[in-house]
Amino acid sequence: MSSGRRVMVAVNGFVFQRDGAFVADGGFLFWLENTKLSMEMLEHEDNPYIASLDYHGDKAMMGKTLVGLAFPKDWDFLDIDAWIDGDLALPVCVGVQVLRSETTDVCCPRWDSACKPPSGQAFATVKFTPDGKMAYAVTQGESRRFEGEGFDGAQGWGRWADESAFSISGHEDVLGNAWNQSGLIDTDIDYIADVAVASASSSAAACASACSCIYMGTINHWTGYWEEVIGGEPIWHPDAEAKVGSCDSIWRSCDGKTWLRIWHKALEGMPMEPYWM
């Protein structure tokens, strides 16, 4: 075997002592050099379960690493088991965390969490571009488990609007820190609440476009219907219809053709509700 072969390996599983005593469960990350394993590299992050791994750099292990998580960072096997049984739901409108490291030191690697994770609920699959200047992420959600109306528990899992989408990073800020969903098609939009234009120049000619970027706020609410009440406030009757999430969004387009989802949360109330204006 030639020397200098290095492979980064990620595994999910359990750790037991020789006497069978349980130690830990989660995701574990190693460098494999020929037949020698490095020290475990995610211990200081409490070993979250891993969905994907990508590395960009040389064989001297001085490159950049992305680790896409499979579930919320603090979930352990009992949480995952409860989710499989339908007793615990994945969070919505918070994204799926991606860890990044600029220098993967096998002794003391430093991991940073994304300040704005890619939208979705689970299983973040990450990939660097060949030049390492950008990265992509694809996520999944509750709808991946939906198996039809006749399947026991399917209605509780949901089948649409689970925020699973395609996101990019590296176009702004540090690569891996901020992820923006690309494309309106991956998000349920009930109506557009507002549109604003950020002008590139205040001295543009009167008939010339001074538009630099367009910002659009969209609302995604639970399906259902309003019941009018004589002398009182209308009552909303939700009809989930296996809908998973209801996340509102702010989008940005600087070319008038493509959109990035730069913010998403669940707003309270009825912002600019068109049905009651």
Q: Could you read off the pLDDT of 159-182 as tens digits, one per residue?
A: 778 889 999 999 988 999 999 999
Span 52-100, pLDDT tens digits: 999 998 877 788 999 999 999 999 999 999 998 888 989 999 999 999 9
Class of residue 175 by CB neighbours under 10 A (exposed 0-12, middle 13-18, buried 19+): buried
Q: Which domain holds residue 149?
A: 1-182
Structure confidence at residue 151 (pLDDT): 45
Distance, CA of 108 to CA of 6 (rounded, Å): 18
* 21 phi, psi to nearest 5 deg: -70, 135
Residue finishing a domain among 182, 212, 234: 182
219, containing H or E segment? strand 211-219
pLDDT band at 155 (very low <50, low <70, confident <90, very high): very low
Beta-strand runs (E) in 57-190: 64-69, 98-101, 112-113, 122-128, 135-140, 166-169, 180-182
Residue finishing a domain among 151, 182, 213: 182
**CB atoms closer than 10 angstroms to residue 245:** 25
Identify whether residues 97 and 131 lie together within a single domain: yes
Q: For the chain, what's the residue count?
A: 277
Identify whether residues 237 and 149 lie together within a single domain: no
Identify whether residues 261 and 156 lie together within a single domain: no
Residue 134 has pLDDT above 90, yes or no: yes
Q: Greater confidence, 55 or 222?
A: 55
Q: Which amino acid is residue 218, in one-letter code?
A: T
pLDDT band at 229 (very low <50, low <70, confident <90, very high): confident
**How many structural domains are present in the chain?**
2
**Contact indicator for 59, 94 with CB cutoff of 8 Å:** no
Q: Which of 121-125, 152-156, 184-188, 264-268 has the highest mean pLDDT?
A: 121-125
pTM of the entire predicted model: 0.83
Identify whether residues 119 and 227 lie together within a single domain: no
Distance, CA of 269 to CA of 192 (rounded, Å): 15
